[in-house]
Amino acid sequence: MPVSPLPRHIVTEAVTRAFAEDQGGRGDITSLACIPANSEEKFYFKAREAGVICGLEPAVEAVWQMDPDALISLQVKDGGTVKAGEVLFGVNGQARALLSAERIALNFLGRMSGIATFTRRHVDAVAGTGAKIVHTRKTTPGLRAFELQAVQAGGGALHRYGLDDAILIKDNHVAVCGGVAAAVAAAKAHAGHMTRVAVEIDRLDQLAEAVEAGAENVLLDNFSLDDLKAAVAEAKGRVTLEASGGVNLDTVRAIAETGIDVISVGALTHSAPNFDVGLDEA
Amino acid sequence: MPVSPLPRHIVTEAVTRAFAEDQGGRGDITSLACIPANSEEKFYFKAREAGVICGLEPAVEAVWQMDPDALISLQVKDGGTVKAGEVLFGVNGQARALLSAERIALNFLGRMSGIATFTRRHVDAVAGTGAKIVHTRKTTPGLRAFELQAVQAGGGALHRYGLDDAILIKDNHVAVCGGVAAAVAAAKAHAGHMTRVAVEIDRLDQLAEAVEAGAENVLLDNFSLDDLKAAVAEAKGRVTLEASGGVNLDTVRAIAETGIDVISVGALTHSAPNFDVGLDEA
Amino acid sequence: MPVSPLPRHIVTEAVTRAFAEDQGGRGDITSLACIPANSEEKFYFKAREAGVICGLEPAVEAVWQMDPDALISLQVKDGGTVKAGEVLFGVNGQARALLSAERIALNFLGRMSGIATFTRRHVDAVAGTGAKIVHTRKTTPGLRAFELQAVQAGGGALHRYGLDDAILIKDNHVAVCGGVAAAVAAAKAHAGHMTRVAVEIDRLDQLAEAVEAGAENVLLDNFSLDDLKAAVAEAKGRVTLEASGGVNLDTVRAIAETGIDVISVGALTHSAPNFDVGLDEA
Amino acid sequence: MPVSPLPRHIVTEAVTRAFAEDQGGRGDITSLACIPANSEEKFYFKAREAGVICGLEPAVEAVWQMDPDALISLQVKDGGTVKAGEVLFGVNGQARALLSAERIALNFLGRMSGIATFTRRHVDAVAGTGAKIVHTRKTTPGLRAFELQAVQAGGGALHRYGLDDAILIKDNHVAVCGGVAAAVAAAKAHAGHMTRVAVEIDRLDQLAEAVEAGAENVLLDNFSLDDLKAAVAEAKGRVTLEASGGVNLDTVRAIAETGIDVISVGALTHSAPNFDVGLDEA
Amino acid sequence: MPVSPLPRHIVTEAVTRAFAEDQGGRGDITSLACIPANSEEKFYFKAREAGVICGLEPAVEAVWQMDPDALISLQVKDGGTVKAGEVLFGVNGQARALLSAERIALNFLGRMSGIATFTRRHVDAVAGTGAKIVHTRKTTPGLRAFELQAVQAGGGALHRYGLDDAILIKDNHVAVCGGVAAAVAAAKAHAGHMTRVAVEIDRLDQLAEAVEAGAENVLLDNFSLDDLKAAVAEAKGRVTLEASGGVNLDTVRAIAETGIDVISVGALTHSAPNFDVGLDEA
Amino acid sequence: MPVSPLPRHIVTEAVTRAFAEDQGGRGDITSLACIPANSEEKFYFKAREAGVICGLEPAVEAVWQMDPDALISLQVKDGGTVKAGEVLFGVNGQARALLSAERIALNFLGRMSGIATFTRRHVDAVAGTGAKIVHTRKTTPGLRAFELQAVQAGGGALHRYGLDDAILIKDNHVAVCGGVAAAVAAAKAHAGHMTRVAVEIDRLDQLAEAVEAGAENVLLDNFSLDDLKAAVAEAKGRVTLEASGGVNLDTVRAIAETGIDVISVGALTHSAPNFDVGLDEA
């Protein structure tokens, strides 16, 4: 699946903010002291391990914010796979600027490729089952757009982006609202014709109530494999079923094999190991 | 060691940014649909595992941005330890507001407590050796202040914050500059009297050159344990020695026992597992 | 239907921006010159015509940004109806501050109540038909959240908020993509499980293709009344049908009576007459 | 009269803000799903009715923010008139980018050309009388610069921009200050030598007091035609006279024929009908 | 003359910006290390020399941004005069917060009181002549509102705030436009009825041309005292005359005695000596 | 010593902010009225006195923000010296744009070259003594990065940038903390290995205590020349000694000759006279 480019202003602002915190008011005083102003160099951003790459947009933005004339030769696209040692892109420009941009570019690449690679492992684990791997809202504050792009780069699919683009009734809503049916009814009365209504349940016997009330998606939270299977059988395709809770690389295949439609994995964004990338001189 | 409070505007802006990406232009449409406007509830933020807590400042800010009149009863401080099931804080206020704030508060708490807890494991591992555990600049773009506070909360010490507050000459600088001595000399000529000069070396034989040239700190990158010991012996306390590269919970104790002063660990901020926190109804 | 409150930071920022453009660097030089600093007054914001009120959130914010201690007594809620001469709210505070806030508060109230009132006229016109009146994306740049709240206040329902929260395939997409079926297929492959897929068609014979391809909503653009009826008959409730184009207060009832589900009206936000509100001294 | 270009940062920021609200964190998911990344198209922005064009600056900025390499061929200038069906500009570039920019560009063009066209109708209505048509501060919050440019494009003249660039004493100021003479005196004592002092009166007998006190402009609020004529006769050109209140296309000519200098019309910005523009494929 | 309060958002933003550059991401590490968290102190902001005070708004804002509960007792108002050693205000609050706020508060007070005091010396120097002392646009980038308030505090009057609130035709405009008369005519055709038109001339023989063309203010740049007197005689009060160029405390009295209306002094804002203020423990 | 370039976003934002306050919502109405849109001109920015130049980065940014295609020919670098009448740079572009940018460019150049020139006079005054001239934190709020660059341009050295990049214990900290030794001990326990610890003392007998406690820098506040000499003798190079208080061009040489390492001068940034620059037509 192709990876969607990020809205431009989001990339620009996040990279500017990253430089603001890294450069303070005096900039990269080490490079200023040690590198002549007119020195030009060629560097390579290289993967130090195998994986799925993401983060090229902010990485390139970081280079160009420091040296607008730097020449960049991309060797891979977001969503592409690399082996250890493979070059992501080469960059030719002012040495000072490139060394100042290095860490910012690497920080975006490391986090986003880490998420992409970790997502891919989940996607591969459910291959052939028809289940989609999706993210949650457990993202890093301020970086959601980047992290969801990384999930896509790894073959994951999109959940709702935030609180405002779909209705997902959770256990606390059900409790305050007085039951699944009441909550779904309230939601459907409020939802526009372009907005889906999902409801989280934690017991199999709530499924019929949810379907009856008109929920379009039902999230089965922390269900046993047997209960997931029973839910799939009962739903008969009338609603989209999502499993969540206790999902990891050891359990995801069995969950997928229950016939569930979607598996949401918080760890994709909150606990993906960093992907190791580095900068080498040519 | 006490944890330093964050500059206020950094907390305010990061939390506002987190809400902006989570709430779009319509806000929490689920809570708006399902929860009566005047409903008041009491919730508890609870640890779901044992660890070191950090992130209370942005978590409380998130609650107050949604409900300025919410009553909050803190049960722990940043840097404090909790057991699984322990309450971090209780909050009493408008149900809609609290449910809208929940995920933002949890995202800060999960990431920051994760870093604090992971740091503490490293600090505990070197207990008694005199070595300090410090962070690197491998932080999440836009959240450095939060992540370094979390390192402090876990007992870690501070490295330079960014490129502008200390000089750290790395291998690429040495290469462009023409050697360790030349680079250190250039740095010292440029550095103000309040700025420290550190240099990274990757071979033991560069240590003398670095000390001679007047470096105040020397970073020994990817040194073997034997070379670390040799460096400690040779330096005789004239410079602060920092080890980096290949540090993890399996190796950190042995590294610390070489007598090194400081051990920097990128994984503290780029690969700390998320800490599991949740919201329960009273 | 209750009106959803706006995300707080959106109100704060829009009102601050409005003051920034109105006050420049010297503020309200007339009030500074003519009104003593310690003068306190009571004013009433009053409707000068009958209608549906919206915009109380930014209006109150405007007053409080100028005088944080002003006492406000609200006489109506967003979405409430008033007669000509009725008081929206009274405000008691510093005369200088209130006169400086007056125009900003009125500008929000006038535009938002105008939209609410104009929407209500459309909603009333289709009363009893089951058709919902919805907005489009033809909103004032930077004020979409406010204008959609006003549509809700008038009894209208929500369409997608922006380009990212639902898929709506328009004629130009169909053209580039090579047909309705191809476009819907591409959309469904890309859409997440929480995202609806709608497609715009301009000929009745495209409806079967759209339904077949799995569109959940079909937008019938500029259809005759006969074609709308035919589409309703053909769709048999399998998809949500939306009519658009050529909708105004003269035509909307007939369109609704075709049995269509949703009628989208660009004029709600781009051409609603301003609602007349004013400030009177007590 | 030539139309003044807008300060650049105002255009950039307003267009970025418009995209932020329209694109959220995922961008234009319809175009991403349906349009190939490398697809290039040519589109025309066309007037669907006759009128005066304004908004080309933000429209072009919108296109270029999405596709910096798009080729644009302008066929008209801000302030120029077009017939129904006439092309405003053609644009050749990436299909995805152009479709994502379409609505933002149209929203600016529709509102600003609407104001320009509506202003021109007022200006034409007073042709030959010497009266100038001017705007008020009843503008859309955050868009004043755009709307006043549109008034200029329609042949209108500028009033004060905001509260800080000229003194305009209104009825509430007069009331608090204790009379027209006292208020004008206070204003003149405070005003700098580059700032004009205007005062609003609502009875003919206040005119002499205003002129005597040294007001440079007098605003006659809701005067009858007879009283306007009497005021013109009495003022004998010593002050600039402005009429306001109850001005519309039916009444404006008669008001102008009283010999008044300036007529301010709130409806120019708060109630101008939208101008119909669209995007067509080549 | 009373000093106008600053628009609130300008104060808030400038103080936040000042803290952002002073506190980086770690805050005041000295106070964090040396001062207990619960330590409360009382400090006094004291003048170390005699002068006119300005800057209390941002100084108080700085204190409250650090400690919202600090108690402040103001002993003087903006525009008030103090003797050396006199207290401006006392503040009682958290010691850490107050020490962190100290320098920001002092930097505003020092610059703004410096300008106020320096302005007062010019105003006193022309006492009794009727000439007004005004500022220019030679202000510190980003701080114009603060510096013009300080000029007012010192008894100076306001010139135009910026390029957009009055027309001031300078020598380069005259040169490009082809003469004083042509430039004034162009300006008057473009200016609204609330905007003044001023023109700068550098030779006495241009005065008649300027008056004839309808300029309301004429700026006499670098005129000799004799030429100033001649200009006053010739103008006969038909235009406001402003002198500029070569104005300092040695020359300003003589210039004022020529009968000129206004004297603009760039040095008020670009070269005022800092006013010495300090913080003392109680 | 070469002058460090400023972080790009700092320049961009400060110049944008300067234009925002100068241009309001209508821009440069004088140039719009008087200068034809297509008029091209060549201007020179010229020094009107001799001195050290700084501020070329924001000055060029100002020109390019107004006319991105303007051709600029730099004749001098930041830190270079010029004679009266010498050209800093020529600029060829749209006349309107250049006249609109003029004052913003000049305001940066005047302030920054003023600081550079004033710093150079202090640096020259201590030539041959080995003492470094450094700035303080008494900078203009929001412009610290610019002013410290100017100090460097004049040959001055850098102190800490802000509160977060070095520890400087001042008299109030010592008082609250209970003495020099206690304060230094607290600081050293908190400081990271890359952060220097300095302490201010005001009596010679505190020096031994400071050195003993491990301070790396000692600031001698308002010491007599004799006490400075005694301190130098006592310190024997074990700590860096900084003198402050009562430093001006009359006293700085004698202070430097005591053997002190560093002399900090608040006046460099808070009281440097403006440098006179202007714009001339070619």
The DSSP letter of residue A202 is S
Looking at residue A256, its pLDDT comes to: 98
pTM, full prediction: 0.96
Task: Tell me chain A's radius of gyration from C-alpha atoms.
Answer: 22
CA–CA distance, D95 with D117 (Å, rounded to integer): 30
Tell me the chain A residues in contact with residue F6 when contact means C-beta distances shorter than 8 Å.
27
Q: Is F103 a catalytic residue?
A: yes
- Residue B1, pLDDT above cutoff 70: no
D275 lies within 8 A of chain C by CB:
no
Is A164 annotated as catalytic?
Answer: no
* pLDDT at residue D281 tops 90: no
Provide, as residue numbers in chain C, all residues whose Cβ is less than 8 Å from the Cβ of E144. Answer: 25
Q: What is the mean pLDDT of residues F32-58?
A: 95
**pLDDT over threshold 80, residue E225:** yes
The residues of chain A scoring below 70 in pLDDT are 1-2
Q: Taking CB atoms and an 8 Å limit, are B162 and A24 in contact across chains? A: yes
Quick check: D1 pLDDT over 80? no
C-F CB pairs within 8 A amount to: 3
pLDDT in tens, D153-179: 999 999 999 999 999 999 989 988 889
A24 inside 8 A of chain E by CB: yes
Distance, CA of F164 to CA of D242 (rounded, Å):
58
Over range D43-53, report the average pLDDT. Answer: 98
Which amino acid is located at B98 in the chain?
L
The pLDDT score that the predictor gives to residue B2 is 65
Under 8 Å between Cβ of A234 and A205: no
Chain E partners within 8 Å of F170 (Cβ): 30, 99
* CB-based contact F21 C25, cutoff 8 Å: yes
Which residues on adjacent β-strands are paired with residue D218?
A: D199, D241
Q: Scan for tokens 């300067």, then name that residue.
A: F18
**Euclidean distance between CA atoms B12 and B10, whole angstroms:** 6
Q: Given an 8 Å threshold on Cβ–Cβ distance, is A165 in contact with C168?
A: no
- Specify the pLDDT at position E2: 65
Q: How confident is the model at residue C26 (pLDDT cuts 50, 70, 90)?
A: very high
Calculate helix-pair angle for C206-213, C180-190, nearest 10 degrees: 20
The reply to whether residue B161 touches residue F164, judged by beta carbons under 8 angstroms, is yes
| Predicted local confidence at residue E3, as pLDDT | 84
Return d(Cα F170, Cα E156) in angstroms, integer: 37
C157 contact partners, CB below 8 Å, separation of at least 6: A192, A193, C132, C133, C134, C151, C262
| Residue whose C-alpha is closest to residue A191's, from F175, F8, E258, B26 | B26
The verdict on B32 touching C (C-beta cutoff 8 Å) is yes
Which residues of chain B does F149 touch, with a Cβ-Cβ cutoff of 8 Å?
none
Q: Which chains touch D (3 or more CB pairs under 8 A)?
A: A, B, C, E, F
Mutate to test the interface with E, among D148, D160, D194 (most CBs of E within 10 A): D194
Q: Which of E134, E136, E163, E193 to mutate to test the interface with D (most CBs of D within 10 A)?
A: E193
Helices B206-213 and B225-235 cross at an angle (nearest 10°) of: 30
Cβ of A36 under 8 Å from any chain F Cβ? no
pLDDT at B4: 83
Which residues of D are less than 8 Å from C32 in CB distance? Answer: 190
Contacts of A242 in chain C (CB under 8 A): 193
As a whole number, mean pLDDT of residues D34-62 equals 96
8 A C-beta contact, residue B35 and residue A190:
no
Q: Once rounded to an integer, what is the mean pLDDT over residues E138-152? A: 97
Which residues lie closer than 8 Å to E139 by C-beta, 6 or more apart?
E147, E148, E269, E270, F107
Select which of C42, C48, C103, C229 is catalytic. C103
SS3 F261: coil
- List, as ranges, residues 130-149 from E with C-beta within 8 Å of C: 144-145, 148
Q: Could you report the per-residue pLDDT of C212-222, keeping only the tens digit for each?
A: 999 999 999 99
* Catalytic site residue from A138, A144, A196, A229: A138
Residue F165: the pLDDT is: 93
B244 in contact with A, Cβ within 8 Å: no
pLDDT given for residue F38 in this prediction: 87
Tell me which DSSP letter residue A1 carries.
Answer: -
pLDDT of residue B235: 96
Average pLDDT for chain F? 96
Count CB atoms within 10 A of the CB of residue A82: 21
Per the annotation, the verdict on C103 as an active-site residue is yes
Mean pLDDT of E77-102: 97
At C3 the pLDDT is 84
Q: Just list the catalytic residues of D.
A: 103, 138, 170, 200, 221
Chain D residue with minimum CA distance to F67:
D8
DSSP class of E103: H
* 8-state DSSP, A227: H
Task: Delineate the domains of chain A, giving CATH numbers in brackets.
Answer: 8-120+273-281 (3.90.1170.20), 124-270 (3.20.20.70)
| Cβ separation E110–F138 shorter than 8 A | yes
Is F221 considered catalytic here?
Answer: yes
Are the beta carbons of A45 and A110 closer than 8 angstroms? no
Maximal C-alpha separation, chain D: 72
Task: Provide the residue count of chain E.
Answer: 282
Q: What pLDDT score was predicted for residue C282?
A: 79
**End-to-end alpha carbon distance in chain E:** 33
Task: Band the pLDDT of F2: cuts 50, 70, 90.
Answer: low
β-strand D51-52 against D81-82: which pairing, if any?
A: antiparallel
What residues of B are in contact with residue D25 (Cβ under 8 Å)? Answer: 21
Reduced to 3 states (helix: H, G, I; strand: E, B; else coil), residue D69 is: coil
pLDDT at D2: 65
Q: How near does any CA of chain D get to the CA of F29, in Å?
A: 8
Bridge partners, residue E280, by sequence: E44
Q: How many CA atoms lie within 13 A of F268 on its CB side?
A: 35
Rounded Cα–Cα distance for residues E199 and C224 (Å): 63
B48 to chain E, closest Cα gap in Å: 29
- F26 lies within 8 A of chain C by CB: no
* E157 lies within 8 A of chain D by CB: yes
% of chain B surpassing 70 pLDDT: 99
Torsion sign (Cα): B102, B104, B107, B113: negative
Q: Is E71 on the interface with C (CB under 8 A)?
A: no
Q: Are E48 and E280 in contact (CB under 8 A)?
A: no
Query: Are residues D37 and A148, on separate chains, in Cβ contact within 8 Å?
Result: no
CB spacing of D158 vs E195 below 8 angstroms: yes
Q: Which residues of A touch E24 (CB under 8 A)?
A: 24
Residue from E42, E121, E137, E138 carrying the catalytic annotation: E138
Model pLDDT for residues B29-73, shown as the tens digit of each residue: 999 999 998 899 999 999 999 999 999 999 999 999 999 999 999
Question: Beta strand D40-47 with D277-281: parallel, antiparallel or unpaired?
Answer: antiparallel
pLDDT at C281: 84
Contact F123, F89 (CB under 8 A): no
Asked if E139 contacts E163 with a C-beta cutoff of 8 angstroms, the reply is: no
Minimum-distance CB partner of F8 among A26, A29, A65: A65
F166–B contact, CB cutoff 8 A:
yes
Catalytic residue among E200, E216, E242, E261: E200
From the list B20, B24, B65, the residue facing C161 with the nearest CB is: B24
Mean pLDDT of B200-211: 96
Nearest residue of D to residue F25, measured between CA atoms: D145
Any CB–CB contact under 8 A between D4 and chain F? yes
- How far is E211 from E233, CA to CA, in rounded Å? 13
Q: For chain E, what percent of residues have pLDDT higher than 90?
A: 93
**Residue F3's closest CA among F85, F80, F99, F67?**
F80
E94 secondary structure, DSSP code: E
Task: Give the single-character DSSP code of F258.
Answer: T
Name the H helices within B132-261: 144-153, 171-177, 180-190, 206-213, 225-235, 252-256
Contact A264, A244 (CB under 8 A): yes
Contact status of B169 with chain A (Cβ, < 8 Å): yes
The residue of chain C with its CA nearest to that of D170 is C30
* Contact predicate D173/C99, CB 8 Å: yes
Residues of B in contact with E20 (CB under 8 A): 7, 9
